[in-house]
Amino acid sequence: MHQIDCPWCGTRDEAEFQYQGDATVQRPKPDADEETFFRYVYARENPKGWHVEWWHHVAGCRQWIKVVRNTLTHEIDSTGGPQSKLTKPDEKGGTKS
């Protein structure tokens, strides 16, 4: 069972959270064209490996938090608030495999 380190509440069970998908996609500016919005809603990288994603702490502080998690191993590298700039371990210069 995933143990997720909520920046506000500390480490909690995955059962307290609602997963909310890829956190790397950015909502376009309102005047962006339909294609840009299309990619925001539908285009996903779906990586095998590190994935930056949203987990919503619904049974806790109600914060949307960012989690860097490995989709092959379920290992979690880091967590942060909604505006944090988290990077994947394999993009930090190979500190972790």
Partner 1 sequence: MTGVNRVSVGGSRIDRSKEVRFTFDGQSYTGFEGDTLASALLANGVTLMGRSFKYHRPRGCLTAGSEEPNAIVELRSGARREPNTRATMAELYNGLDAQSQNRFPSLKFDIQAINQLLSPFLTAGFYYKTFMWPSSFWEPVYEKFIRKSAGLGKAATQADPDTYEHSHGHCDVLVVGAGIAGLSAALSAGRSGARVILVEEQVAAGGMTSTATDFIDGKPSDEWVAQALDELAGMANVTVRTRTTLFGYYDHNVLAALERVSDHLEVPEAHQPRQRLWTLRAGQVVLACGSHERAMVFDNNDMPGVMLSGAVRAFVERYGAAPGKRVVVCTNNDDGYKTAASLHKAGVEIVAITDARAEPSPAAKLATAAGMKVQCGVIPHKAKGRHRVSAIALQRTDGSSAEIIECDCVAMSNGYSPDVHLVSQTGVAPVWREDILGFVPDTPIRKERSAGACKGTFELNACLQEGHQAGCDAAEAMGFGSGDPGSAGTADEEEITAPLALWRCPGKGKAFVDFQNDVTAKDIQLAHQEGFVSVEHAKRYTTLGMATDQGKTSNVNGIALLAEARGEPIPDVGTTRFRPPYSPVAIGAFAGHERGMEFQPVRRTAMHACGEKLGAVFVEAGQWLRPQYYPKPGEGVMEAIYRESEQVRKTAGICDVSTLGKIEIFGEDAGEFLNRLYINGWKMLAPGKARYGLMLREDGYVFDDGTTSRLADDHYFMTTTTANAARVLAHMEHASQVLWPDLDVHFCSATEQWCGVAVAGPNARAILAKAFGDAIDISNEELPFMGVREFKWNGATARIFRISFSGELAFEVNVPWSYGEAMWDAIWDAGQDHGLIAYGTEALSVLRIEKGHVAGNELDGRTTAADMGLGKMMSSKKPFIGQKMAARDGMIDPQRATLVGVKLKSGASRLRGGAHLVADKNIANAETSLGWITSVCDSPAMGCWIGLAYVRGGLSEHDGKILYAANPIYEESPAVEICSPHFFDPKGERLHG
Partner 2 sequence: MHYSALSVFLQGLKGHKGWPRMWRDPQPKSHYDVIIIGGGGHGLATAYYLAKEHGITNVAVVEKGWIGGGNVGRNTTIFRSNYMFPANTHFYEKGMKLWEGLERDFNFNAMISQRGVINLFHSDPQRDAFARRGNAMRLAGVDAEFLSPAQLKDMVPILDFENARFPIQGGLMQRRGGTIRHDAVAWGYARGADSRGVDILQNCEVKDIIIEGGAAVGIETSKGTIRANKVAMAVAGHTTHVAKMAGLELPVESHVLQAFVSEGIKPLIDTVVTFGAGHFYISQSDKGGLVFGGDLDGYNSYAQRGNLPMMEHVMAGGMAIMPAIGRVRLLRHWGGIMDMSFDGSPFICKTGIEKLYLNGGWCYGGFKATPASGWCFAHTIAKDEPHKLNEKFTIERFREGRMIDEKGVGPNPWIQ
Residues that bind partner 2 (CB under 8 A): 1-2, 13-15, 18-19, 21-22, 38, 41-44, 46, 48, 51, 53, 69, 71-74
Residue of 19, 39, 41, 92 interacting with partner 1 (CB under 8 A):
41
Query: Which of 75, 66, 77 lies closest to 26, judged by CA?
Result: 66
In the bound state with partner 2, the residue whose beta carbon lies nearer, of 8 and 37, is: 37
Cα 76 to chain center, whole Å? 10
- Tell which positions 4-33 bind partner 1, by CB under 8 A: 18, 20, 27, 30-32
Q: How far apart are the first and last CA of the chain?
A: 21
- CA torsion sign for 86, 88, 91, 93 is positive
Least distance CB 44 / partner 1 (angstroms): 14
3-state secondary structure of 42: helix
Subset of 75-94 contacting partner 1 (CB under 8 A): 76, 82-83
